[in-house]
Chains A and B, each alone.
Chain A
Amino acid sequence: MLEIKNLHASVGDKPILNGIDLKVKAGEVHAIMGPNGSGKSTLAHVLSGREGYAVTQGSVLYQGKDLLGLTPEIRAREGIFLAFQYPVEIPGVTNKYFLKAAYNALRKHRGQPEISAGDFLKLIKEKAKLVQMDPAMLNRAVNAGFSGGEKKRNEILQLAVLEPKLGLLDETDSGLDIDALKIVAQGVNAMRSDQRAFVVVTHYQRLLDYIVPDFVHVLSGGRIVRSGGKELAHQLEKEGYALLQPEEVAK
């Protein structure tokens, strides 16, 4: 589904990613771990098409096609979803309206007619249950005045409604207490399927107790320096990023 080859990216003059190679197949969950400043979030942003990053080398294929030439909205319509580390507040736009606009944008892209208001309401109410969200929050402005936990649950609600092929979770666990973390993880787990892949970016192993990955990669200095199974996450938890060999640490 996703094939990243020798990806280099920088912000301004500063190189952040220095040759990432990663293959993700449908049905897999990959965790990207690494110390602060290792480039984890940059990788998620570059994949979602955020402005401000220059890809200087390498390529990314998504479903066999070049991803990097696509605008963020086309990537979204083609099935890529980024759950934000810091979801943006949009006062004046209700959650419901926003979700419907996004949902219909995706349908239009697939040549499908817009969903009826009634059907959509049914759909989002059902999905709201998945993340244990009070349906009243659907009528509130997007993320405006939401607590940290509510914002993250709202991200997962959007994920559940938009049903992407590839979900990128950027530090979704940051700022969550354990109850909120469990709810978010349950929401993601419910979305796992043979057809769908996830790339989970996290600093802490904690999240991976609840979203159990198939593969764990350690990012350092803008490169993947180690890859392994879920046990690698446990090892990191125990020994910290200090377990990285000197040659693996960013130069």
Chain B
Amino acid sequence: MTAVLQDPKERFLAEFLAVQKDLPGQGLSWVESRRRRALDRFEAQGLPTDKTEDWRFTPVGLLVDKAFEQAGAAPKNFEPARFALCDFPVYRLVFVNGRYVSNLSRPLPKGTLLSSVSSILKTEPKLLEPYLGRESSGHAFNNLNTALFRDGAVLHLSRGTVLDEPVHLLFVSTAGKEATASYLRVLIVTERGSSAKIVEEYAGEGEYLTNSVTEVLSGEGSRVELIKLQRESAQARHVAALRVRQEKDSVFSAHSIALGALLSRNDVDARLEAEGADCTLNGLYVLDGAQHCDHNTVIDHVKPHGTSRELYKGVLDGRSRAVFNGTIAVEKDAQKTSALVYNKNLLLSENGLVNTKPEFKINANDVQCRHGATIGQLSGDALFYLRSRGLSLAAARSLLVYAFASEMVDALSILPLREALAEVLHKRLPELN
């Protein structure tokens, strides 16, 4: 039995002191100083409240109402593979409770480095130093992540390396009686002309907190598709940040598929730092009960001829809530930028709620930018049309919901994943079959 809960901020600071000696990179001065710096920033920021901009609609209390303590190792005989959505040919790393547990499923092609953060910090820390936790930005939970990260994955592709199969990073949490926390880090560096598809999958059981930060350095002309499957347990809290830096003519796309967790919060910060960069952010959230899901995205066009497009779609049932903030900034130099940001929501119940705000901050004068947001219900005309052909009301509803959501599933380039996700959606819409 724990004593009366401390002030959450004090608790996190105390946790750092308690665990810092065990964290990877101990003894490397650059790691230690970056952790310390992040913690200082966290201390200065304090935890967000409902008065903090970009957190106004987020039930932040859910992130601090428990003493989520760093999780221990997985129980014996624990089989994380069963948490995966589907099996497909991949290079796979598995993490349980924030710790790396299992080996690659196959040998890597030349020019590819794929390993856990903790092991690279032991063997080749120099490789990570230019990237890992170097940039300091983000909110309090992102800074906590930099201070406290326990493990994660590193993917480094040397010039021209084309990965033939996707990388699958499976993060499984298993909480016992006490709520636990995992602090995860992913670093993806793709050098010039290389190409990869990465699937980050989050799943688990029990009540726990996942705090993850993914950094992508997308080199000149490289292509990266990053799919995030958030299938956390119903009681889980999930706070994740994605930071992307794009070089010339790089093509980056991220797909955020959010199905699980009581509260999930996704912050994306993408910067198109050189000419001709192309960025796609897609998202799908399917919520029910008391689920809450946030997407806060910022795309920053720094140089000319950049393209970005965002489409986030949401399906809300029960008394679930969603927040979308999508900002696209076009800086003075970034002429000939083409950008669009859309958020479309389908409300299935009276009690669902969406707060949405797509917006532009434009400082260039020769740009094409469009944005929009919709919150709608199933069309009565479409329902009648389907029923007039013999489909039951329930089947007609399911079909229309599926039709709305499937666009985001179809946008994934990995076929087995698309099929498995389609099946998940079908199962959540039981009248469909």
Contact = CB atoms under 8 A, between A and B. Distances in A.
Interface string B340-359: 00000000000000000000
A105 B388 contact: no
Interface stretch (A70-78, A189-197, A239-247): A70-78
A102 B385 contact: no
Interface residues of A, number: 28
Contacts of A106: 390
Contacts of A48: 388
Looking at B379, B385, B388, B399, the one whose CB has the most chain A CB atoms below 10 A away is B388
A90 interface: yes
Interface in B360-405: 379-382, 384-393, 395-396, 399-400, 402-404
B406 A102 contact: no
A60 B20 CA distance: 80
Looking at B390, B393, B396, B399, the one whose CB has the most chain A CB atoms below 10 A away is B390
B387 A73 contact: yes
B112 to A, nearest CB: 37
B395 A105 contact: yes
B413 to A, nearest CB: 18
B399 A82 contact: no
Contacts of A93: 399-400, 402-403
Contacts of B396: 73
A9 B403 CA distance: 34
Interface in A82-117: 82, 84, 87-88, 90-93, 98, 101-102, 105-106, 109
A90 B387 contact: no
A51 B380 CA distance: 9
B407 A92 contact: yes
Given A92-B406, A93-B399, A98 B389 contact: yes
A87 B134 CA distance: 57
Contacts of A81: 388-389
A50 B382 CA distance: 12
Given A73-B387, A101-B399, A90 B382 contact: yes
Contacts of B403: 90-93, 141
B390 A82 contact: no
Nearest to B410: A92
Contacts of B386: 90, 98, 102
A202 interface: no
Nearest to A84: B385
A158 B390 CA distance: 11
Interface string A17-51: 00000000000000000000000000000001111
A162 interface: yes
Interface residues of B, number: 23
B402 A72 contact: no
A159 B389 CA distance: 9
A73 B385 contact: no
A158 B399 contact: no
Contacts of B404: 92
A77 B396 CA distance: 14
Nearest to A97: B399
Contact of A101 (B385, B391, B406): B391
Nearest to A87: B385
A105 B386 CA distance: 11
A105 B406 contact: no
A76 B389 CA distance: 6
A76 B388 contact: yes
B374 to A, nearest CB: 13
B393 A88 contact: no
A73 B390 contact: yes
B389 A102 contact: yes
B390 A102 contact: yes
Given A84-B385, A90-B385, A73 B392 contact: yes
Nearest to A158: B389
A110 B37 CA distance: 71
A76 B390 contact: yes
Contacts of B390: 73, 76-77, 102, 105-106, 109, 162
B379 A88 contact: yes
A216 to B, nearest CB: 25
B387 A162 contact: no
A8 B49 CA distance: 60
Interface string B406-425: 11000000000000000000
Nearest to B380: A51
Interface in B119-169: none
B423 to A, nearest CB: 15
A48 B386 CA distance: 12
A194 to B, nearest CB: 23
A88 B389 contact: no
Looking at B381, B385, B399, the one whose CB has the most chain A CB atoms below 10 A away is B385
Contacts of B380: 51
A212 to B, nearest CB: 26
11 contacts: A72-B387, A73-B396, A76-B387, A90-B382, A90-B385, A91-B407, A92-B406, A101-B389, A105-B392, A158-B389, A162-B389
Interface of A: 48-51, 71-73, 75-77, 81-82, 84, 87-88, 90-93, 98, 101-102, 105-106, 109, 141, 158, 162
Per CB-CB distance, the 9 closest pairs between chain A and chain B, nearest first, are A92-B403, A105-B390, A102-B389, A88-B385, A76-B390, A72-B387, A73-B387, A93-B403, A77-B390
Given A71-B393, A141-B403, 8 more contacts: A71-B387, A73-B387, A73-B391, A73-B393, A76-B390, A98-B386, A101-B399, A102-B386
